[in-house]
């Protein structure tokens, strides 16, 4: 069965956390919104006109008759099916908890450029964005990165992993977090990275996984840009 991933075309965004898991597993999937007529299909599925629970926003995943929304929830669903999650229940729930922390972090990263309103332009909230980004870089970035670094410290021996001794979808998501933060805040990240050697090592380790390496070099991988979650506005960064 082919998995159907639904996410906005043109940005890596929250869809990328799911894409990385599907790619690493070599899963058969289609990025629906990037196909002919796919965007219209995605919009129709959010209109809530059919039986069952419609998603409010992408990403969502269709597996046959089953529809799963929210990036972390999709990864909980896919984790064992793709061999990218602990097999025991305690491990699965712990992985999900880490992924939900990533969800919280992603929302705060988004709010650095949209602190007032999701539907407003960045240009309409620049002053507030400056204050928000300053606070984010001062307090929230070290809080979240420090938390993940400590988690990696507990689990890393020869290889770096967030959980147990094997690769999970959490590792792939942490890779994407570091990629996105490097794009959005290159100055702040250059200064911060020496404090998070295991996150940096995990990022390199994931980038060398053969399937991830091939994916990153492919047309399936979308570049970061100023429409997505991770946006680079030099005025929000630190030099
Ligand atoms: N909690 C959801 C958030 C989904 C979400 O906010 N999706 C964004 C795109 S990244 C969206 O399309 N939002 C539209 C809206 O909130 O109106 C997740 O983690 O997947």
15 in ligand 1 pocket by Cβ < 6 Å? no
CB 34 within 8 A of CB 223: no
Taking the domain 3-81, which CATH number applies?
Answer: 3.40.30.10
* CATH 1.20.1050.10, applies to 89-236: yes
What residues of the chain score a pLDDT lower than 70? none
Domain coordinates in residue numbering, the chain: 3-81, 89-236
Give the separation between CA 105 and CA 180, rounded to whole angstroms. 12
In ligand 1, the atom with minimum distance to the C-alpha of 11 is: 10
Give the separation between CA 14 and CA 180, rounded to whole angstroms. 11
Q: How far is CA 191 from CA 73, 173, 207, 238, in A?
A: 33, 22, 21, 9
pLDDT per position as a tens digit, 33-81: 999 999 999 999 999 777 788 999 999 999 999 999 999 999 999 999 9
Q: How far is CA 86 from CA 97, 171, 190, in A?
A: 13, 12, 33
SS3 37: coil
Substitution candidate for ligand 1 out of 56, 57, 73, 176 with most atoms within 8 A of CB:
57
Q: How far is CA 143 from CA 125, 147, 160, in A?
A: 25, 6, 20
Q: What is the pTM for the complete model shown?
A: 0.97
SS3 61: strand
What pLDDT score was predicted for residue 80?
97
What pLDDT score was predicted for residue 156?
74
What spacing in Å lies between the alpha carbon of 69 and ligand 1's midpoint? 10
Residue 233's region, left for phi above 0, alpha for psi from -120 to 50, else beta, is beta
What spacing in Å lies between the alpha carbon of 47 and ligand 1's midpoint? 15
SS3 83: coil
What spacing in Å lies between the alpha carbon of 78 and ligand 1's midpoint? 19
Give the separation between CA 57 and CA 120, rounded to whole angstroms. 17
Give the separation between CA 129 and CA 117, rounded to whole angstroms. 11
CA 23-25-26 angle, to 5 degrees, is 65
* Residue 3 exposure: Cα atoms within 13 Å on the Cβ side: 23
């Amino acid at each position: 069965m082919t998995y159907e991933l639904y996410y906005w075309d043109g940005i890596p965004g929250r869809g990328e956390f799911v894409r990385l898991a599907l790619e690493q597993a070599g899963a058969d999937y289609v990025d629906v919104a990037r196909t002919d007529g796919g965007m219209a299909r995605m919009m129709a599925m959010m209109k809530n006109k059919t039986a069952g629970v419609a998603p409010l926003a992408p990403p969502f995943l269709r597996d046959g008759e089953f529809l799963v929304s929210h990036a972390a929830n999709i990864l909980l669903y896919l984790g064992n099916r793709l061999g990218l999650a602990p097999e025991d229940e305690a491990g699965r729930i712990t992985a999900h908890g880490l992924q939900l922390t990533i969800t919280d972090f992603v929302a705060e990263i988004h709010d650095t450029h949209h602190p007032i309103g999701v539907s407003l332009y960045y240009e309409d909230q620049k002053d507030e964005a400056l204050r928000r980004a300053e606070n984010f870089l001062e307090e929230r970035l070290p809080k979240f990165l420090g938390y993940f670094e400590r988690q990696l410290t507990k689990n890393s021996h020869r290889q770096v992993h967030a959980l147990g001794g094997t690769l999970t979808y959490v590792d792939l998501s942490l890779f994407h977090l570091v990629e996105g933060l490097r794009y959005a805040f290159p100055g702040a990240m250059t200064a911060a990275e020496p404090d998070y050697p295991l996150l940096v090592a995990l990022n390199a380790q994931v980038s060398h996984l053969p399937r991830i390496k091939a994916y990153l070099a492919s047309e399936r991988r979308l570049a970061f840009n100023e429409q997505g979650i991770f946006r680079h506005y030099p005025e929000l960064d630190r030099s």
